[in-house]
Structure 1
Amino acid sequence: MTVTKGRRRIVIIGGGITGLTATYYLQRAAIAKQLPIDITLVEASLRLGGKVHTHRKNGIIVEKGPESFFDRTGSVQQLAQDLHIEDSIVGNHLGPTYVALGNELYPVPESLLAGDAPHISSFITSRLFSVSGKVRAAGDFVIPRTHLPVDQPVGPFLRRRFGAEIVENLVEPLLASVYAGDVEQLSLQTTFPELYDVEQKHRSLLLGMRKAQSSLFYGDVPEQAEGIFHTFKNGLETMVEAMEATLKPGTILKGVRAEAIAYNADKEMTVQLSHKPIMQADDIIIATPYHVAQGLFADKQMLQELDDMTAATIATVNMVFKREQFADLKALAFFVSRNSDLTITSCTWSNLKWPTTAPQDYVVLRSYIGRVGDEAIVELSDREIEQNVLADLQQTLGVSGKPLTTIVTRWKDAMPQYTVGHKARIARVEQKLHEVYPNVHLAGSSFKGISIPECVAQGQQIAAQLLAPYEQQLSCK
């Protein structure tokens, strides 16, 4: 990018966490350093934040989308510091977590979810696995390294090391709550490449992680009294609201859909908008779901590599109860095996995990429904979904009576599936896009990480990339 004396026009398409973060950092630098940049954020809906959506009423905080983040690289912490809201970050309370097999809940070895290296003894004493399953899992100590490349499915990789029972009763339920996907298709390279590295270095995953003091699913985490997951005291949307409050009037176009990206007769990039004049742009950041990005180009081959990409449709079901409707309130969450007859895929005691979310005499249960191959449930009416979820909670938890409030939130095609070959496909897509539109940039959960910290990091990185030429000019003065 060549920086001239003229003003540079940057258009960000998509006001989810990635696009909003990029907009915030671009404007922050432009104002602080008086850079000749004009920034416009285009969002099709009437609100910013994408799937981050907090509902607050009568002292109860409910997350309609994701409920927390695991900030391994510190990207959210940095954003919070820049927004001066870091003091409102809170960690989750610790407590037992379970997996539902049939209608019975079995405790998960705490070390696997608290961020510790896996304890060998926890497998031996766990009721989640049969004797034969534990014997098979011990095969990890002697099974040789895989000769397959890192880009292989998660399921077969872990099944080879630990056996089918570990995958079915532990790995798949836990990952379904994060990716809503099929472990037989999810790419190891784009979800847990560190497991491959541990195996290649130490051969045994269990011994390797013990030596590195690394968690099975969360990698290296610091020692701390609270859990490894975090949110904000007033809900995740706190950071969305804080970023939006800093943006200058006229920077955001809500309720406006970007419909096409093209070159005009003067070879300038343009963005065609719904019920708005065509905008000229020097740089464009596409921070939308992949299928929306595909629709922005008249040449359907531009993002053809994404044709086979899929996304799972899910829903969150938040239910508010009175505390007396429960006999026991010691657990934080349970995850559901595919072998179970339950409708839900996971359930969290939000008020126990995050005590700031509700008064002491209330219980907030947050359930997920829907995942790859099991999405029809999401198409039911709110009443039918409530009945199904309540029946599951009555079977597993012994809940008495009906909830005081139920909030059903559907997320259609919301969970992009990183299947084997994903990283290479995205690289080819970016290369082809760069050849025709060198100043169009892809970012967001469809491409390089679905978690909140990964999306924040993408926004920070792409903003830094576009600001780099200005930084170089300033350093030369």
Structure 2
Amino acid sequence: MATGTPHGSGRSPHVLVVGAGVAGLAAAHRLLRRGATVTVAEASGRVGGKLLPGEIAGVRVDLGAESLLARRPEAVELAREAGLADDLQPPATATAALWTRGALRPMPRGHVMGVPGTADALAGVLSEEGLRRVGQDAELPRTEVGEDVAVGQYVAERLGREVVDRLIEPLLGGVYAGDAYQISMRAAVPQLFEVARTHTSLTEGVRALQEKTAANPSTGPVFAGIAGGVGRLPLAVAEAVRSRGGEVLLNAPVTGLRRDADGWHALAGDRPVRADAVVVAAPAAAAATVLREVAPRAAVELDGVEYASMALISLAFRRAEADAQLPAGSGFLVPPVDGRTIKASTFASRKWGWIADEDPDVLVVRTSVGRYRETAILGRSDQELVDVSRHDLHEATGLTAEPIATTVTRWDDGLPQYPVGHHTRVARIREHVAAVPGLAVCGAAYDGVGVPATIASAYAAVDALSADPVLGLGTGE
């Protein structure tokens, strides 16, 4: 029997949402609030996408993304709407370090994604020659950025490669697992792109941005977590969707999507679905497959979106053995130029009070490996990834304690890449999609890979559908 009814005669429009990651669930949640009926179809056996709750040594942890950018409202507001307001927590400590040039060095302050307002901000991280090169920025002629430019290319030209290699690479790598010399400044660091577009000196532009920020300070923490793990967010939103009468189907890949005079038709697994509109909230490759027949030019563009794979290695130690061996702070980042295997380590029990409270006798540490087109390391076994993580942790911190439990979580094609020109690709995709009535797309492949940006893309997709008077969706909350 088909799901949903054709829109008309005062009935609520029915929307099919393809994908139950946080974007698809956020879209479904907002659609329900705007008066639609909703079916969410997820190809895998769980909701959440790259947000995954788990446990190690009896302690709840995140096995995917672990924090939300709280300075953007979308993620924390959705968490509140899903009943998690009391569980939102700031990090217990956010003091991080860089493991570079043979030592752990304090993360510099006073920079925008690694770009300083003064050379002094990077003292201790860069060599004397690197600091001198940063100081020459104000003497250089203007560097035009055009429609877009790679972050690494532009910053290296202004400040030297050392800033890129030792600071920007690990910072961007933690977000995109990408290559700073290929990542779009306009798409990935738009505030820096605006500085580059409007100022001759990059460091002077960053100082101006910092002064503006200082004059209008934001209240509250920069980041937030959720007690029990950020992976609880999609579970709570899925439950909220169900409580409002929405369906969430698992193990139900969408195939055969087509549109005719009666609306949209597809199979969700082996179940026929009829809908008045469709939101495709799947990763780029899956979205291309779904859209191949109905929006072929959008599918071609989506086929061109590349992804990076990575793995997270979670290690649990007896706190009495490991705590004193680790330095203070929440962890460290690792520049790829230093030739290490891990790219970051988080002292999770230090960073999140709720993890420490789960079992005060256990200390959880996690590392990450894998960058764009870095496939050899991901071909190693789980035990080899644990061993190399322990080796690098020992080299960085002196940690010798034996773990009492380990877990390796692999994220194949986990992070979309935003190369130069990404914004024009996204514009073309949306143009092709907008030409098909009752169709929208959202997810991490478009406007940002962070959780708030992904949720914002879902809301933009719902707004696009709400603008169609024929569909008859509400436009308010």
Give the TM-score taking structure 2 as reference length: 0.88
CA contact 2:195–2:205 (8 Å) conserved in 1: yes
Alignment of 1:90-239 (within 5 A): 90-101=89-100, 103-112=102-111, 118=116, 120=118, 122-123=120-121, 126-213=123-210, 222=217, 227-239=221-233
- Change in Cα spacing, 1:147 to 1:250, as seen in structure 2 (3 Å) is closer
Structure 2 match to 1:40: 39
Deviation at 1:378, TM superposition (A): 1.6
- Are 1:364 and 2:364 an aligned pair? yes
2:290 matches 1:319: no
Distance of aligned partners of 1:400 and 1:474 in 2 relative to their CA distance in 1, 3 Å threshold = closer
1:22 matches 2:27: yes
TM-superposed deviation, 1:150: 4.0
How far did 1:58 drift? 6.1
Distance 2:462 2:247 in 1: 16
Query: Once the two structures are superposed, what CA deviation does each residue of 1:185-222 show, in whole Å capped at 9, x if it has no partner?
Result: 1111101121122233343333333333269xx99984
Superposed CA RMSD in Å reads: 2.9
Partner amino acid, structure 2, of 1:339: V
Task: Report the equivalent of 1:273.
Answer: 268
| Compared CA separation, residues 200 and 273, structure 1 to 2 (3 A) | closer
Which residue pairs with 1:406 in the alignment? Answer: 406
**2:288 corresponds to which residue?**
294
Judge which range, 81-90 or 462-471, deviates more.
462-471
Contact 1:93/1:352, CA 8 A, preserved across alignment: yes
- What are the Cα deviations for residues 211-237 of structure 1, in whole angstroms up to 9, with x where unaligned? 33269xx9998456x752111122112
Equivalent residues of 1:283, 1:440 under 8 A apart? yes
Q: Deviations over 1:160-192 (max 9, x none)?
A: 221111111111111111100011111111011
1:302-361: CA deviations, max 9, x gaps?
421233321001111111112223424302221111222321111111111112212333
Uncovered stretches (5+) of structure 1, i.e. residues with no partner:
31-36
Return closer, same or farther for 1:3/1:459 CA change in 2, 3 Å cut-off.
farther
Structure 2 residue aligned with 1:34: none
Query: Which residue number in structure 1 is paired with residue 416 of structure 2?
Result: 416
Deviation at 1:99, TM superposition (A): 2.0
Q: What secondary structure, in the 3-state scheme, does the structure 2 residue paired with 1:247 have?
A: helix
Change in 2 beyond 3 A, CA 1:474/1:334: closer
Aligned-pair CA distance for 1:98: 2.1
Distance 2:165 2:116 in 1: 18
Can you list the C-alpha shifts for 1:382-416, whole angstroms capped at 9, x where unaligned?
Answer: 11111111111111111113211111111111110
Read off the aligned partner of 2:150 and give its amino acid letter.
P
- Residue in 2 that maps onto 1:75: 74
Map Cα deviations across residues 115-160 of structure 1 (whole Å, 9 max, x no partner): 9995637436x22111110010112223333223141111111112
Shift of 1:262: 1.6
With 344-353 and 103-112 compared, the bigger mean Cα shift is at 103-112
| 8 A Cα contact 1:103 1:395, kept in partner | no
String of CA shifts for 1:43-101, please: whole Å, max 9, x gaps. 11121111111114666232111110213331123223323422321112335422223
State the distance in 1 between where 2:314 and 2:402 align.
13
Provide closer, same or farther for how the CA distance between residues 214 and 383 of structure 1 changes in structure 2, counting only shifts above 3 A: farther
Contact 1:117 1:214 in 2 (8 A): no
Q: Distance in 2 between matches of 1:272 and 1:461?
A: 25
Question: Which amino acid in structure 1 is aligned with residue 127 of structure 2?
Answer: S
Q: Which residue of 2 aligns with 1:455?
A: 454
Structure 2 residue aligned with 1:283: 277
Question: Offset at 1:239?
Answer: 2.1
How far, CA to CA, are the matches of 2:246 and 2:206 in structure 1? 51
Match of 1:342 in 2: 340
Q: Contact (CA 8 Å) 2:465, 2:471: kept in 1 or not?
A: no
Whole-angstrom CA distance in 2 between matches of 1:181 and 1:267: 44
Within 1, Cα distance between the matches of 2:34 and 2:99?
A: 49
SS at match of 2:458: helix
Q: Distance in 2 between matches of 1:417 and 1:354?
A: 29
Equivalent pairs counted in the alignment come to 461
Using a 3 Å threshold, how does the CA distance of structure 1 residues 56 and 415 change in structure 2: closer, same or farther? same
Q: Do the aligned partners of 1:117 and 1:210 also contact (CA within 8 Å) in 2?
A: no
1:9 CA displacement: 1.8
Give the structure 1 partner of residue 4 of structure 2: none
Deviations 1:224-283 (A, max 9, x none): 6x752111122112322221222236611111111231235x56321123222x222211
What is the letter of the counterpart of residue 272 of structure 1? L
> Which residue matches 1:390?
390
Contact 2:284 2:445 in 1 (8 A): yes
Q: Is the 8 A contact 2:282 2:443 kept in 1?
A: yes
Q: Deviations over 1:3-59 (max 9, x none)?
A: 6534422000000000001111222332xxxxxx32100011121111111114666
Q: Which moved more, 1:71-80 or 1:442-451?
A: 71-80
What is the DSSP-based 3-state SS (H/G/I as helix, E as strand, rest coil) of the residue aligned with 1:15?
coil
Structure 2 counterpart SS, 1:296: helix
Moved more, 230-239 or 417-426: 230-239
Are the counterparts in 2 of residues 54 and 64 from structure 1 also a CA contact under 8 Å? yes
Distance change in 2, residues 1:404/1:150 (3 Å): farther
Residue 257 of structure 1 is aligned with which of 249, 253, 259? 253
- Once structures 1 and 2 are overlaid, which stretch shifts more, 187-196 or 373-382? 373-382
* Distance in 2, Cα, partners of 1:123 & 1:204: 16
CA distance in 2, matches of 1:79, 1:149: 36
* Contact 1:312 1:375 (C-alpha < 8 Å) held by counterparts: no
Question: 2:283·2:443 contact (CA, 8 Å) conserved in 1?
Answer: yes
SS at match of 2:308: strand
**Pair 1:302–1:57, CA change in 2 (3 A):** closer
State, as a whole percentage, how many aligned pairs show the same letter.
28
